[in-house]
Structure 1
Amino acid sequence: MLTSTLNKLYDYLNNESKDRVCKGITDEACNHVASNFFTILFTHTFTKLGDTLSNPKTVLTWLMNYVNAPVFLISLIVPIRESGALIPQVAISNYVKKKPIRKYIWVVGSIIQGVAIAAIGLVSLHFDKKVAGWLIIVCLIIFSLARSLASVSSKDIKGKTIPKTRRGRLGGYTSSFSGILVLIAGLYITYTSKTTENIQFYTNLIFFAASMWIIASVIYASVKEFPTPIENEAGEQNSIADNLKLLKDDKHLRDFVIARSLLLCSALSAPFYVTVAQNSVKDTSYLLGLLIISNGLASIVSSPYWGKLADKSSKNTMAYAVTIASLCGLILFLIITFAGDFKTQLWLYPIAFFVLGVAHSGVRQGRKTYIIDMASGNERTNYVSVSNTIIGLILLVTGGLSAVLSLVSVESVILALSIIGLLGAVKSYRLPNVEKTTGDTN
């Protein structure tokens, strides 16, 4: 009964009326597409909600301010959380490729992430100032390493269990469903923060976020995954060096990594939007909730569209989305610089954050679908790990440069990142299509 219901719902969501589309996966995996689709959807919905409620750009920044952590430690949380999850992936991929069944790697990574986030809540309750700041940094490092495990394995599992032309839609529905939960959370935070905003309030958010990864790990364990062929030991020798050499030998991968590097503007811009808002608006008590609401609405409104577009052309999705992010940044820069009256308006920043959220959702859907559709099997694992490791290093460099540029003005960072984004749009548009065109129109 449940299987029949899931099959009907899957066919409805993906407009399948006849034979099921199973491009890029085995016949054995094709029999379990519907159940795997919803298992992954619910799992990633929970982890996305956890990500939002422990976001370093908003919630963790507020939390560290409450414990009076040093400003220089607060500036480290975004680069550590993002880069720490990306840089180790070439090394981690060697471990992943030795495992025929890889879902349990994701499960372990998810559990460790949940424990690390819960530890941040405990640290915030019992420590303050520099001690709290450093302990939170340590927890974030552990979180990021666990995130590496989950990232490398999840894209490979998604590629093994979900067919081409359906992977983008899965990402879109996931972002949309999680956006609904994020919207509810944002409304709650907005409603309660005016009267109950204190350290207990924020740590409760953190503990709730931690539980999302634990719940997700239980659900993900039920994914129907079939064994991947294992490379022999000779093929593993010097694999880190060989994987990195892919950038030199594989022009397609190299062009994708360059394009993805330029797309970082949509992620790096967000904390500077928040900083401008905090510096410009007098009463910021509602600000955190409003920004979370904006982010949730952006996912609900845009993610299904981006997901379907990514299944048709993921490289165009990247190009269109980063163009929106760049134009948003340019307009905000002009308003901040030349329209002083608008600069102090509270409503300006949730709207700007909404537009940026729409754009960033498209960038994420496009690049994730593109890298999954570029290859299959262990080659996909190599591509994901190499690109993520390089992006992690670039993120550290660009994050550092942005921090230096912010000493001049926050507005100048937004302008610079917007210009970089336009270059990313051009580079993304010039990438080759990786979605195979067939007679299927679903």
Structure 2
Amino acid sequence: MPSSSLNKLYKYLNNERDERVCKGITDEACKHVATNYFSILFTHTFTKLGDTLSNPKTVLTWLMNYVGAPVFLISLIVPIRESGALIPQVAISNYVKRKPIRKYIWIVGSIVQGLAIAAIGIVALQFEKQNAGWLIIICLIIFSLARALASVSSKDVKGKTIPKTRRGKLGGYTSSFAGILVLIAGLYITYKSKTDEDIQFYTTLIFFAASMWIIAAIIYAFIKEFPTDITKDEGDQNSIRDNIKLLKDDSNLRNFVIARSLLLCSALSAPFYVTLAQNNVEGTSYLLGLLIVSNGLASIVSAPSWGKLADKSSKNTMAYAVTIASLCGIILVILVSFTAALKTQLWLYPVAFFILGIAHSGVRQGRKTYVLDMAKGNERTNYVSVSNTIIGIILLFTGGLSAVLSLISVEVVIVVLSILGFWGAIKSYRLPNVEKENG
């Protein structure tokens, strides 16, 4: 698409009529905002589709069950995929900060993620039971490390190339476009799973998901990124400790991390919604497709609105979204516990999953925009890596706690996570409004 057309479309999507807004980026970067905007939009659209089609809460769980992997290995895939991508980020950030151009780090991370997901498909075709389970776990560990590399660099590249008051909208449009693709994929899966639910069906999903990261890496190479000033602490043996010390010295970062920890309820609740459906509804061969459809619809209808709200106040976005997630959890438990006729209805769970998807989209948009707008330059890299590493550790702890609570009942887990979510809403609302402070 010609640059003039990109500029017109960029202005239309962001309601720009006169002079371009370039808040928080350099004059050089300002000249290439439109190209970078759409490169990032398409890149993240494809990776979000890949994420959905290889999601450990749905697709990988189904795949592991199909190959006969032990239950204890299946229980590891969500914490390994999520926390494994977060915990190494403080160490990785010190490497990233020494690179003046950081988009190539993301490109390498994306390619490795795609290869790791493709390897899972090969394992599923060639192995079964415990051997398949352990090999899939190894592939997920490699995937998670590559994801950590991409995560640290992506937020820094986005912060360098996309202006403030435009980052939230970009995230919203990305989720919405990805949601359309996810909706199409979900409808296809729902249709095909009624007749063709075999190993070829699942591995085709996995191989297609893997290709999304490879395509994304190619698109990301077109981003025009200008060099960052390199930090002079290459020989500093205490850099990781100094980064962690940010939590003690920076009250804004510390409070954000506390709030974000409590926001985990929107992500951790999802597999228990699925478990409720599997426990209470018979004949759910196409449940996977219905849940993917619900997730896609949730992104389509909500992401642009969350993105616009995040550009005005990302901390309020987090607060509103997690409140919706918590209310959804409480209402679902009440319906399942006290209405015997409703608990066996298949439609109840995709509807609840849809509402949770709307809420989780808002939580993601809010927290990502907040950490981008909270800091600048290498400080941003430090903030992202420190907060992600701490969240990864907390995720392991919270995941373990959820596993213990699930021995009582799935409903208890959802209620506890919902209560933590309400607390997270209060903590988020009390954060400073960084969109106004860091002009």
Give 1:233 shift.
3.1
Return the letter of the residue paired with 1:216.
A
Give 1:65 shift.
0.3
List gaps (5 residues or longer) in structure 1. Answer: none
In 2, distance between residues paired with 1:402 and 1:72? 14
Q: Does 1:24 align with 2:24?
A: yes
Q: Are the aligned partners of 2:374 and 2:438 in contact in 1 as well (CA < 8 Å)?
A: no
Return the letter of the residue paired with 2:182.
V
Partner of 2:53: 53
In 1, distance between residues paired with 2:89 and 2:147? 10
Q: Does 1:165 align with 2:180?
A: no
Return the letter of the residue paired with 2:429.
Y
Return the letter of the residue paired with 2:180.
I
Partner of 2:305: 305
Partner of 2:212: 212
Q: Are the aligned partners of 2:310 and 2:366 in contact in 1 as well (CA < 8 Å)?
A: yes
Q: Are the aligned partners of 1:94 and 1:236 in contact in 2 as well (CA < 8 Å)?
A: no
In 1, distance between residues paired with 2:380 and 2:236? 16
In 1, distance between residues paired with 2:69 and 2:185? 26
In 1, distance between residues paired with 2:298 and 2:235? 44
Return the letter of the residue paired with 2:59.
V
Where in structure 1 do 4 or more consecutive aligned residues deviate above 4 Å?
A: none
SS of match in other structure, 2:226:
coil
In 1, distance between residues paired with 2:5 and 2:236? 43
Partner of 1:151: 151
Partner of 1:244: 244
Give 1:337 shift.
1.1
In 2, distance between residues paired with 1:235 and 1:228? 19
In 2, distance between residues paired with 1:424 and 1:438? 23
Return the letter of the residue paired with 2:31.
N
Q: Are the aligned partners of 2:295 and 2:353 in contact in 1 as well (CA < 8 Å)?
A: yes
In 2, distance between residues paired with 1:33 and 1:217? 19
Partner of 2:341: 341
Q: TM-score, normalised by structure 2?
A: 0.99
In 1, distance between residues paired with 2:437 and 2:102? 30
In 2, distance between residues paired with 1:103 and 1:258? 30
Q: TM-score, normalised by structure 1?
A: 0.98
Q: Does 1:224 align with 2:224?
A: yes
CA-to-aligned-CA distance 1:29-64 (integer Å, 9 cap, x gap): 000000000000000000000000000000000000
In 2, distance between residues paired with 1:193 and 1:162? 41
Give 1:341 shift.
1.1
Summarize the Cα distance change of 1:438–1:9 in structure 2 as closer, same or farther, 3 Å threshold.
farther
Partner of 2:189: 189
Q: Does 1:141 align with 2:141?
A: yes
Return the letter of the residue paired with 2:138.
V
Q: Does 1:199 align with 2:227?
A: no
CA-to-aligned-CA distance 1:286-342 (integer Å, 9 cap, x gap): 211000000000000000000000000000000000000000000001011111110
CA-to-aligned-CA distance 1:348-388 (integer Å, 9 cap, x gap): 00000000000000000000000000001000000000000
In 2, distance between residues paired with 1:162 and 1:437? 18
Q: Are the aligned partners of 2:183 and 2:293 in contact in 1 as well (CA < 8 Å)?
A: yes
Q: Are the aligned partners of 1:328 and 1:356 in contact in 2 as well (CA < 8 Å)?
A: yes
Give 1:436 shift.
2.4
In 2, distance between residues paired with 1:339 and 1:378? 53
Within a 5 Å distance, the mapping from 1:325-340 to structure 2 comes to 325-340=325-340
Summarize the Cα distance change of 1:191–1:234 in structure 2 as closer, same or farther, 3 Å threshold.
closer
Q: Are the aligned partners of 2:295 and 2:354 in contact in 1 as well (CA < 8 Å)?
A: yes
Partner of 1:320: 320
In 2, distance between residues paired with 1:198 and 1:51? 21
Return the letter of the residue paired with 1:364.
R
Query: RMSD value over aligned CA atoms?
Result: 1.1
Q: Does 1:377 align with 2:377?
A: yes
Aligned residues: percent identity? Answer: 82
List gaps (5 residues or longer) in structure 2. Answer: none
Q: Are the aligned partners of 1:176 and 1:301 in contact in 2 as well (CA < 8 Å)?
A: yes
Partner of 2:120: 120
In 1, distance between residues paired with 2:234 and 2:126? 50
CA-to-aligned-CA distance 1:215-250 (integer Å, 9 cap, x gap): 000000110000000011367441100000001111
Partner of 1:104: 104
